[in-house]
Amino acid sequence: MALQLNFPGMTTPIPMNESYITALTRGKNDIIFGGTSGTTAHIFAASIRSTSGIAVDFGGDSVSTECRGLTCTSGDILVAGVNTPNNGRLWTRNAMTAMPDCIQEWGFDVSQPKIAYNFPKGEKVLCLTTDTTTVFVIGLTNKHVFMFNPKSNTVRLYNKQNIIRLTNLGGGNVVALTSKGVVYKVETDKTMEIKFVALTKLDKCFTNKNVCISSNSIGGTFYIADGKGSIYGINLKKRNVKKVTSAHLRPVKCMTITNDGRLYGFCGDGMTNLFVYTPRTGEYKNLGVAVSVLNLRRYGYEFSCAVTGHDGELMFGENDRGGCLWAYFPKI
């Protein structure tokens, strides 16, 4: 089901040239936050819970054109990592923690994000997420690993150490992947010190462009796909790694795990295919091209990000002109 980035029947969507969805995260009460790219970057909140079924545009600044990540801290601050043509930026605003009744008498805080931090010219944000404490934000630029304190709007920089991706899998588990295939568990504390604890090493070298990490872990297991579409399952507790399957197309664009452990993702260029891997049986299945006939009648061809909702529903960000937030309800 494709959801346009608006209040259906009430508001206009985020303009088509500005609605390539490139980042998603899940906040309190199953509110999904997203970031877009295009001629102007936006951040938005969306929900399909209760009486909602809407998206609310929070806008952006007039310069940023790309959102590379966003996350909600435990202090209910929404932090987005965006890029202008010249440099990276961090935006903050209050995270929406509940949706109003969207059948009658609604009202929203639609304040725009504030520019909380500017990286120097030439330094671009690649990704970010909340840290182990969930108080701070940890992220990656093309030059550094950084930590951001959203209360003081301060950033501390660290050596990049060949890290190409950082992801918060939930449950306090933040992992980092290096271009040498080393997977770290990233531990932080209240003093913003970072400790990288090696979990395992993949027998692969990666480039930032092609690697994909699942947005979450279930039962301690998460997944990494390399540029050839090989998918590895990694157990955080056992610290072991195993190639579990291969996507039928490459590259893998995004992956997320539903509550029973099944892995879903999109793969391929130009016209992506949805796939599912079932760890219990080892079965891999191509589910084909996405199409929505409820709410919006639309094909879905390009996806770049995904999160799993509270009840195991999957939310995918369509990285396309006129991009929508897609909800997929896995087969029971």
Partner 1 sequence: MKITMNTNPAFSTNFYQFTKYPKSDSGWGLSTGPEGRIYVSVCHECIPGGTVIVARYNETKDDIDYLFDVSEVTGDPVDSGRATQCKIHYSFVPSQDDGILYCATHLSGPPIDLKAYSPWLFWHDKTKCFRGSELIAYDTVKDKVLWHDIIIPKEGCRCLAFDSKHKQLYALSYPRDHFIIYSLETKTRRDLGRIGSINSQVIFLDKHNRAWMTDDYGHMIRYNPDTDILEQSTYVLPHEPYQTGWHSVLYDVVASPDGECVYITTWSPAPRLIRFWPTHGEFGTVEDLGCATQSKRNTAIPFSMFLDHSGGVVFGNDGNLYYGHSRWDDDNNQNSDTNRQFKNATGAVVQLNPQTLERKEVATLTRPDGAAQYISRGARDRNGDLFFMNVGRLPVGFFKMTMPGRKESSNSHLPLRIWG
**Sites of contact with partner 1 (CB under 8 A):** 12, 15-17, 39, 249, 268, 270-271, 273, 288-289, 297-299, 301, 320-322
Q: Output the smallest distance, CB 75 to partner 1, in A.
A: 37
* Residue 57 vs 320, nearer CB to partner 1: 320
Name beta bridge partners: 290. 300
Q: Output the smallest distance, CB 8 to partner 1, in A.
A: 11
d(CA 114, CA 70): 14
Contact 59, 112 (CB under 8 A): yes
Name beta bridge partners: 81. 69, 90
Q: Output the smallest distance, CB 297 to partner 1, in A.
A: 7
Q: Output the smallest distance, CB 110 to partner 1, in A.
A: 19
Residue type for 195, please? K
Contact 87, 123 (CB under 8 A): yes
Q: Output the smallest distance, CB 299 to partner 1, in A.
A: 5
- 283-288 sheet: strands from edge to edge: 252-257, 263-267, 273-278, 283-288
DSSP code for 178: E
* Residue 81 vs 300, nearer CB to partner 1: 300
* Residue 75 vs 288, nearer CB to partner 1: 288
* Residue 158 vs 301, nearer CB to partner 1: 301
Q: Output the smallest distance, CB 127 to partner 1, in A.
A: 24
Residue ranges of alpha helices (H) inside 168-210 are none
DSSP code for 250: S
d(CA 328, CA 51): 18
Quickly count: other Cβ atoms within 10 Å of residue 309's Cβ.
20
Q: Output the smallest distance, CB 39 to partner 1, in A.
A: 7
d(CA 33, CA 35): 7
* Residue 124 vs 298, nearer CB to partner 1: 298
d(CA 89, CA 91): 6
* Residue 145 vs 249, nearer CB to partner 1: 249
What value, to the nearest 5°, has the Cα angle with vertex 197 and ends 250 and 186?
70
d(CA 322, CA 118): 28
d(CA 261, CA 135): 28
* Residue 313 vs 318, nearer CB to partner 1: 318
Best CA proximity match to 191, nearest among 128, 147, 255, 243: 147
Q: Output the smallest distance, CB 102 to partner 1, in A.
A: 19
* Residue 12 vs 240, nearer CB to partner 1: 12
Give the end-to-end CA distance of the chain in Å, rounded to a whole number. Answer: 17
* Residue 13 vs 279, nearer CB to partner 1: 13
Q: Output the smallest distance, CB 2 to partner 1, in A.
A: 10
